[in-house]
Amino acid sequence: MPGRAIIGPVSSSWTSFGGDLHLDLTERRAAGAGLRAALEDALREAVQDGRLVPGTRLPSSRALGEDLGIARNTVVEAYGQLTAEGWLTSRQGSGTTVARRAAPGRSRRAARPAAGRRTVRHDLMAGRPDLSLFPRTAWLAAARRALATAPHEAFGYGSPFGRIELRRALTDYLARVRGVRTDPDHLLICTGVSQGLGLLCAALRERGDRALAVEEYGLPPQHAVARAAGLATVPVPLDEAGARVERLDGRCGAVLLTPAHQFPTGAPLAADRRAAAVRWARERDGYVVEDDYDGEFRYDRQPVGAMQALDPERVVYAGTAAKSLAPGLRLAWLALPDALVEPVARLKRLADTMSPVLDQLTLAELITSGTYDRHVRRCRLHYRRRRDQLVAALAEHAPRVRVTGIAAGLHAVLQLPPGSASEAELLARAEAAGLAVEGLSWHLADRSAADPDAAPALVIGYASPPEHAFPAALDALCELLRER
């Protein structure tokens, strides 16, 4: 959403600090303030309550405009007004800084208790793309074309499956890029993979299933979705070849896998295990749910194709635009077997009737025009460069840290050497330093089974920070991991 950026407490120049400033213009816009006035008010308040201390160098008008999703001229005008009022100073060649005489005062809002405040200066959380890469100009152009050519009926109550234009575009795209075998009548557009998984789990529960097998390490919110639908979650062990599908529990009616790039460990599911999982599903009239969350981002070898092609009647394919474009679009899709088409579509209609139309039409236009392919290629190069910078920085500053899971995706797992601080200690240090990271143990499907003697490990999302903040985020991470 335009008008939101994150800027934490800053005590040095913006360039050297490289952090993210928290400016939320949404409430001010909702109260009737213009965009420039909302930005001026937010910056003025940040100076008053001490989040921007005297001498702090602010981001350039171009950088802040990109982070907030607003025009550069709006930032220039806001900086000019606050300079005239004495809050900021500006000098040719030196940028804009907080004025030395503008001492912090009392905030007009009641501050949250200190114990409840968490300062995030560097966001390295996994599963998030660099939102500054969102192709605003291309999206706007595609939206205009889609809006101009859409039939009138597109804006009425439509099919729970989603717009046919997007389902046709995705059918061709997924076949070409991921090897998925489906057609528009078996594709359902959903409001994020979480909704799609919830619909699937509810359909499985309806048919009498009581448990869903999940990988030993995964995404806890997905496990919560399954449990909310009435399914128990049963962990499946992992090793360097992915999920050990020979250990699948007979109580389960389906298994949730991330075969192209296991989340979060990064191992692709071995070919023999893919075949074994499909065989298991056939033998017990069950299903494999394939979460292909980042299959488009592979760097060191050819992409690993979707396992759905092994048996489209036993594998449900789940894809998303959350990593390639932005999670805020809430655009995802399911390629469904025949037996699940009716129940999942019925549940989708009950959930929200259908997903928003204009974004579907816009994505369809992006895909059919070839713009989406070009965007993904640019992102792939960008993230590969980020990954290489991460690996190089760790090799120089923390050489005993083992980096794994980096052949694809937007994150890496850092395995710390024996004798390191515990994972809990590392996370506490990271929080004190304003560094947002995740511990590997958080991803356990059954945290009570955690091995207390296991070496600590961190899951690092190297895609999250905007470009100008990435070097400082790397510095903070290396400082955290540097042996003392």
Residue pair 354/191 in contact (Cβ under 8 Å)? The answer is no
CATH code reported for the domain at 4-111: 1.10.10.10
Residue pair 383/463 in contact (Cβ under 8 Å)? The answer is yes
By C-alpha distance, which of 474, 395, 453, 457 is closest to 423?
Answer: 457
Q: Give 367's contacts (C-beta < 8 A, 6+ positions apart).
A: 166, 169, 170, 172, 173, 373
pLDDT at 438: 93
Residue pair 196/352 in contact (Cβ under 8 Å)? The answer is no
Question: Angle at CA 432, nearest 5°, toward 412 and 448?
Answer: 60
> Does residue 400 carry a pLDDT above 80?
yes
CA–CA dist 36, 49 (Å, integer): 20
Residue 119: pLDDT band by 50, 70, 90 thresholds? Answer: confident
CATH code reported for the domain at 375-481: 3.90.1150.10
The half-sphere exposure of 283 on its side-chain side, counting CA atoms within 13 A, is 9
pLDDT tens digit string along 136-180? Answer: 999 999 999 999 999 999 999 999 999 999 999 999 999 999 999
* Torsion sign, CA atoms 127, 410, 181, 258: negative
Residue pair 70/108 in contact (Cβ under 8 Å)? The answer is no
CATH of 136-372, picked from 3.40.640.10, 3.40.50.720, 1.10.15.40, 3.40.50.11540, is 3.40.640.10
Q: What percent of the chain has pLDDT over 70?
A: 89
Two tokens at 139? 């999206």
CA–CA dist 18, 123 (Å, integer): 11
| Per-residue CA distances from 294 to 319, 322, 422 (Å) | 8, 9, 30
Long-range CB pairs of 442-451 (<8 Å, 24+ gap) are 442/220, 443/217, 443/218, 443/219, 443/220, 443/263, 443/264, 444/216, 444/217, 444/235, 445/214, 445/215, 445/216, 445/217, 445/218, 445/220, 445/223, 445/233, 445/235, 446/216, 446/235, 449/235
pLDDT at 239: 94
Q: Give 414's contacts (C-beta < 8 A, 6+ positions apart).
A: 394, 401, 402, 403, 457, 458, 459, 460, 481
Number of Cβ within 10 Å of residue 399's Cβ equals 10
Average pLDDT over residues 221-234: 96
pLDDT tens digit string along 429-477? Answer: 999 999 999 999 999 998 777 777 778 999 999 999 988 999 999 999 9
By C-alpha distance, which of 44, 473, 33, 12 is closest to 23?
Answer: 44
Q: What are phi and psi of 446, to 5 degrees?
A: -130, 95
Two tokens at 420? 């390191």
Least confidently predicted of 93-102, 245-254, 263-272, 347-356: 93-102
Q: What are phi and psi of 73, to 5 degrees?
A: -60, -35
Pure H helices in 150-254: 164-177, 193-206, 220-228
> Does residue 408 carry a pLDDT above 60?
yes
Residue 238: pLDDT band by 50, 70, 90 thresholds? Answer: very high
pLDDT tens digit string along 335-386? Answer: 999 999 999 999 999 999 999 999 999 999 999 999 999 999 999 999 999 9
Q: What is residue 443's DSSP assignment? A: G
pLDDT at 182: 97
Least confidently predicted of 30-34, 55-59, 355-359: 30-34
Q: What are phi and psi of 270, to 5 degrees?
A: -60, 150
Q: Which residue has the higher pLDDT, 46 or 139?
A: 139
pLDDT at 101: 66
Q: Give 447's contacts (C-beta < 8 A, 6+ positions apart).
A: 441
Domain ranges in the chain are 4-111, 136-372, 375-481
Mean pLDDT of the chain: 88
DSSP 86-148: TSEEEETTTEEEE-TT------SSPPPPGGG----SEE--TT---GGGS-HHHHHHHHHHHHH
> Does residue 10 carry a pLDDT above 60?
no
Residue 291: pLDDT band by 50, 70, 90 thresholds? Answer: very high
Q: Is the pTM of this model over 0.85?
A: no
CA–CA dist 155, 150 (Å, integer): 9
